[in-house]
Structure 1
Amino acid sequence: MGSMLISLSHFCDKHGPRILLVTQAAINGSTGDELLVPTYPTDSYCDSCLLHFPKSSASDIRSLKSNVGNQCFVSTQYSSIRYQLLTLIIRRSFSEETMIYDGMPLVFYDDTRGLNLVMGFKLNDDNARGNERRYCLIFTIDSKDHKASMELISANWSFITGGFDKMINYIRDSHRQQIQKKNDTANENGNFSLLGGTYLRGNKVKVPRNLAELTQDELLFVRLHKWNSFLLHTCMQS
């Protein structure tokens, strides 16, 4: 069986499809250092497509590494060893005509991209193009063994889709609560719009916003790392 990984991707208004976070399992017995990415310039990233971990006292954190059982898992902004693979996967995911961003699973497979289970979702945001931001959670099996890959996905279908559902619902609920707080504040200040159902804005310029900001959860990507690591570890044991 090939390697398994989970990624969160976003269709950025400025940069198109971008990986926000990818979680991979280290080689058995490894400390996971081979999966860490070097310090990289962030000039080519906007707030919407930049991985956001809480800042440490020393420097910005660019990677997370933890163990589940005796297996090490690493989450990074991109994969230095599977960069091209993930680029092909997210381009296919966001260009797929059947992707409807309502949490329904989509599966595609080929010898180049492996087997991918994709669940798309979107968040309403007046600061985004079309007033919404689109995301995909993707479970990937990087293998040319179609039969074995399908058997693993089938055996873990409810577990994977259920785990993705929990992640998506957490993000949606956190975002919804954040919008409600802003609307309540605007209503108290007399700036509420009955027509739009949202607080009035003087500035209509579309601006990039990070997922951690949209949910008001500084630990969001840490939670995603932990969720992804647990999902991958469980599937690796099946």
Structure 2
Amino acid sequence: MNAIISMCHFCELHGPRILFCTQPFRPQEPRNELDAEDSESSYPRRVKSPSLSADSHNVTPSLPSMKNDMCEGCYSVQPGYVSHDEEAHVSYVSTQHPYHPQVFSRIRQACIRSLSCEVCPGREGPIFFGDEQYGYVLSYTFYVEDSQARGLQRSYSIVIVMMDKIYLLNSWPFLVPHLKTLKENLQARAHKVYTEEQAKCPQTTLRLNPSINPANFIQQRGGNKPARSLVELTGHKNVFKVLHFSFIWILKACGNRMTETLLEGPPTEDSIIDMEKQEETEEGFIKLYSRKISENQPEQVASEDEGCIDSDVEQEYMSKAPFIKDLRLFRKALGNSKFHTLAHHVLIGNQVIISGAEKSQVKAILAALKMLLPKGCCRAITYSNTYEESWRCNFLGLALNVPLPNHTMSTEMFILVEVLKGEGEEAPDSSLESEKSLTDNCFSSFNYRLSSPVQLPEKAPTVLQKMEMALRNENLSEEVVEQCFICIKEEWMNKVKVLFKFTKAGGSRSKEDTEKLFKVVSAQEEDKQLLKFWMTGLSVQYRTHILASSKSQH
């Protein structure tokens, strides 16, 4: 996160003052984090450890004279702390003040405004302000109890300054709760010290004494210091080191939660589906794995531990590597005719059941077959000891010899692929091979038996014909074939979008109008079942947009 985070306080003698600040430095970057063009030199950096480690740095910045006019309450650390993040190639520097004069000017401006005019109702809480010249600021103002201060409390603020207004506003839900946690920790420590001091010398009774006047107020209130440091107020001698690590975590975590992606065109349906599957936690992080287990399904819990996972987790597993090579190998092992039949079932949405004793083999087959479909159409359970209904998944991995229910055999649209050990050959040892990629001869080491109660049309969908043509062409590399599949799927998903808008958002349509639309999008009779199934894979974002715009027009 390209920002500076600072702790500020209001001194009774010097007014608003910067107390402590942390800023990131990256290789070949100027010191000025807020205005890189105005800096001519860069801060020396060292990378020591893959984890964050703190140490003091013996470089004393040249400070304006006003910074040197400090009381004990305005002082924090000298020279400061430096932490190195080798993995991200970032060094975090915490000092009393920023090194660069222009950066100091902007942080100073934010400090003054956060402790004077820019305050939220109640004078404690977050507020946003700023402009293009001095940067944008998220300020969290709060009070810390001090038995020797006027009003028995001192005013502090934590300010985050950066030039990117949109980024800072989008980070508000993440930053504010963590700043609140940090200030509550400081307040709790200060309250403990305050309670102990009040027990020894109650200030309320003492200050009602008529002998106290402006000349002897400081001496009479319990000390001769105009302000006390945060170390003394909290009773924690390493409070600034704790702040150093806290500020580092906030900057690093806030930067990691948002990423930029260079798009060469509009996002595809698959990329939109991926974004919709991401679930953000209360802390602002993205939850990658999510699985709900029902209490009344003890047997299913055991099977999930062995590899049965829901579609969200499976999608993450499947998206880590291309499986075109496995798809080609599986096609050769299965044979052209059997593969054509199986792929036809996959493309029109019939449930595909892969039954086998080797879990890794079953998972590899499912991973390869999923390359044929858009991500929104894939609902997979990779391995289970019980049959799962087709409404839950259209890709199902089953342990060998698991019986199918009678109603499934008679009414369901499915194809069963039994993975059997080849004669005279032993199946590969799943404990020695990776579950994500298999050796070249792994598919040919098994025999495959296909069975289905469904009678398929004689002519295959156009999509299948194009995909088989790409797979047969040995002159095309796996990367090229993968891109061909992406283009084919996106082309037909665009046709699905047209059909969805025509049928769902355009009101009642006659059969003749629908047939005319099929001709316009170059869809044949054999493609209708595929288009109908692929319509279920449209993103929620697109569906909501089309239906909402349709309602507004009517």
Measured against the shorter chain, the TM-score band is: 0.7 to 0.9
Matches of 1:25 and 1:97, distance apart in 2 = 26
Matches of 2:108 and 2:62, distance apart in 1 = 20
Q: Structure 1 pair 128/156, CA: closer, same or farther in 2 (3 Å)?
A: same
Deviation of the 1:133 alpha carbon:
0.8
SS at match of 1:95: coil
Q: Structure 1 pair 231/63, CA: closer, same or farther in 2 (3 Å)?
A: same
SS at match of 2:108: helix
2:108 equivalent among 87, 90, 101: 87
Are 1:37 and 1:76, in contact at CA under 8 Å, matched by a contact in 2?
no
Deviation of the 1:177 alpha carbon:
0.8
SS at match of 2:92: strand
Q: Structure 1 pair 111/118, CA: closer, same or farther in 2 (3 Å)?
A: same
The number of equivalent residue pairs is 216
- Cα offsets for 1:168-210 (capped at 9, x unmatched): 01110001111222344x2xxxx658x6599x99722663100
Matches of 2:25 and 2:118, distance apart in 1 = 34
Matches of 2:190 and 2:109, distance apart in 1 = 29
- Cα offsets for 1:109-167 (capped at 9, x unmatched): 201221111010112323223332111101111x2xxxx522x2343222211111111
**1:6 aligned partner:** 5
RCO (CA 8 Å, sep 6+): is it higher in 1 or 2? Answer: 1
1:168 equivalent among 176, 183, 186: 183
- Cα offsets for 1:62-101 (capped at 9, x unmatched): 1100124432100000012111111111122222154456
Q: Structure 1 pair 96/102, CA: closer, same or farther in 2 (3 Å)?
A: closer
Residue 140 of structure 2 is aligned to residue 124 of structure 1: no
Are 1:93 and 1:99, in contact at CA under 8 Å, matched by a contact in 2?
no
Are 1:5 and 1:24, in contact at CA under 8 Å, matched by a contact in 2?
yes
**1:38 aligned partner:** 61
Which sections of structure 1, spanning at least 5 residues, go unmatched? 53-60
- Cα offsets for 1:46-73 (capped at 9, x unmatched): 0111014xxxxxxxx4110012443210
Matches of 1:183 and 1:104, distance apart in 2 = 26
SS at match of 2:84: strand
SS at match of 1:159: helix
Equivalences for residues 1-238 of structure 1 within 5 A: 3-28=2-27, 32-33=43-44, 37-38=60-61, 44-52=69-77, 61-68=78-85, 69-70=87-88, 71-81=90-100, 82-96=103-117, 98-99=119-120, 103-141=124-162, 143=163, 148-150=164-166, 152-184=167-199, 186=200, 196=205, 203-204=220-221, 207-237=226-256, 238=258
Matches of 2:139 and 2:10, distance apart in 1 = 14
Q: CA RMSD in A?
A: 3.1
Q: Structure 1 pair 111/22, CA: closer, same or farther in 2 (3 Å)?
A: same
Q: Structure 1 pair 157/231, CA: closer, same or farther in 2 (3 Å)?
A: same
Q: Greater CA radius of gyration, 1 or 2?
A: 2
Matches of 2:246 and 2:84, distance apart in 1 = 12
Matches of 1:98 and 1:78, distance apart in 2 = 23
SS at match of 2:115: helix
Q: Structure 1 pair 100/211, CA: closer, same or farther in 2 (3 Å)?
A: farther
Matches of 2:236 and 2:75, distance apart in 1 = 15
SS at match of 1:162: helix
Are 1:11 and 1:18, in contact at CA under 8 Å, matched by a contact in 2?
yes
Are 1:129 and 1:206, in contact at CA under 8 Å, matched by a contact in 2?
no
Matches of 2:175 and 2:114, distance apart in 1 = 17
Letter in 1 for 2:246: W
Q: Structure 1 pair 24/50, CA: closer, same or farther in 2 (3 Å)?
A: same
Q: Structure 1 pair 97/4, CA: closer, same or farther in 2 (3 Å)?
A: closer
Deviation of the 1:3 alpha carbon:
3.4
Letter in 2 for 1:107: F
Matches of 2:14 and 2:121, distance apart in 1 = 21
> Higher strand share goes to which structure?
1
Letter in 2 for 1:110: D
Matches of 1:90 and 1:117, distance apart in 2 = 11
Are 1:116 and 1:138, in contact at CA under 8 Å, matched by a contact in 2?
yes
- Superposition TM-score, scaled by structure 1 size: 0.78
Are 1:21 and 1:75, in contact at CA under 8 Å, matched by a contact in 2?
yes
> Higher helix share goes to which structure?
2
- Superposition TM-score, scaled by structure 2 size: 0.36
